[in-house]
Amino acid sequence: MMEGQPAGVKDALPEVGRPPRILVLSFSPIHRDPRVLRQIMVLGELGDVVSCGYGGSPEGVVEHIRIPDSLKPWRPDFKAVALLLGARAHSRLYFKSARVRLVLEKIQPGTVDVIVANDAIAVPLALELRPRLGVHADLHEFAPRQGEDKLQWRLLVGPLMDWACRHLKHVDSVSTVAPGIADAYAQDYKIPRPSVVANAAAYRAEIEPTPVGHPLRLVHTGVAGRARKIEVMIDAVAVANARQQGSVTLDLVVVPGDETYIQELAERAASVPGSAVRLLPPVSYAEIVPMLRGYDVGIFLCPPSTFNLRHALPNKLFEFIQARLAVLIGPSPEMEAVVREYGVGWITRDFSAEAAAETLGGMTAAHVAKKKAASHAAARQLSSESMSRPWADSVRVLLGL
């Protein structure tokens, strides 16, 4: 696409009598990508939704264009990819890749009305497809710093993400996952501040707070990534129980990641007396909130080791709330703002095991019950149904509705 080319041809309105055709584009397995699935549900009320990404067809679309998993690498030869990245030949790497060429063959430019491009890396392709009415970009993290804790990523992949982000000036509207990330995109790429659509869970009207147990039942869910320092939460429970024997348990429901790290966590958990900490296998996305409701406190201490972790506003926070749990977090600014505004939990003074154990030691059953009730009161407002409106609003503007 030429620099300065508009995202859509604004005078080419949809044909009279047919629904608008909205393409949801994502280089992810859409059928199990909760954020993209929520977009499809929201946008299905505005027109015919076509999805394009990896994996099988998701529910709610009139057509799915599947990108084969074999085309995930930019090139079959890793050395060729590294050479192109090192030479900053980003446009050549991107537009001559098999996956991008496949999409351009399957979807003729100018044949859809609106495109919702998921993540920065989908934006150049969305613009090349020249939708009639425009492009909305939904950015799931701050892409230029997504892998900043790894030197190879900073040297090679980071500049590619920056190249993709420089296309944001050509899209019509942008959303992202947290206020701090919205501020960074606006500042670094000189675009209007993106709207914020948090990774909220669907409203669960049937769930009510359960009685507070003894010992206090803590739970953590998520990817077992070393940067998240899950061991600190294990140590916090060990310290809390050393001070008040049998006061707290912790279940870690970990999504497979770094297998070596998971083994380290298992060994650390086994060292806590009284089998107070357990590692449990993951459950399906639909089962997460029902599983969580059997606990008292959802815990997530997220050390700000990277920009995106500092500004994390993760789905687990909203899943804890839909499960009507109290919440215990570290002083992460995005999560802290939600916890303070709605009174659903506690914020530790820092990200250490000692600080978390100190906070746990001060909890009473009455305190926890009050926080669980606050989650119950906030559940509808902090649901995906309430928080996903900016997507529909942005696409309505493009459609002229």
Residue 7 confidence (pLDDT):
47
Q: Where along the chain do its domains lie?
A: 21-199+385-399, 216-382
What kind of architecture, by CATH, is found in domain 21-199+385-399?
A: 3-Layer(aba) Sandwich (3.40)
10 Å CB burial of residue 87 (0-12, 13-18, 19+) is exposed
| Tokens 């501040």 found at | 193
Q: Rounded to whole angstroms, how far apart are CA atoms 191 and 165? A: 10
Catalogue the E-assigned strands of 99-215: 114-118, 134-139, 173-176, 195-196
| CATH for the stretch 216-382 | 3.40.50.2000
pLDDT digits (tens, 9 = 90+) for 249-303: 999 999 888 899 999 999 999 999 999 999 999 998 889 999 999 999 999 999 9
Q: How many CB atoms lie within 10 A of CB 1?
A: 18
pLDDT digits (tens, 9 = 90+) for 164-182: 999 999 999 999 999 999 9
Residue 16 confidence (pLDDT):
60
pTM of this prediction? 0.90
- Of the candidate ranges 83-97, 254-268, 322-336, 368-382, the one whose mean pLDDT is the lowest: 254-268
Judge whether residue 98 has pLDDT over 90: yes
Residue 226 confidence (pLDDT):
87
Query: Residue 21: enclosing H or E segment and its boundaries?
Result: strand 21-29
Under DSSP, the state recorded for 223 is E
Question: Given this chain, do its domains 21-199+385-399 and 216-382 carry the same CATH topology?
Answer: yes
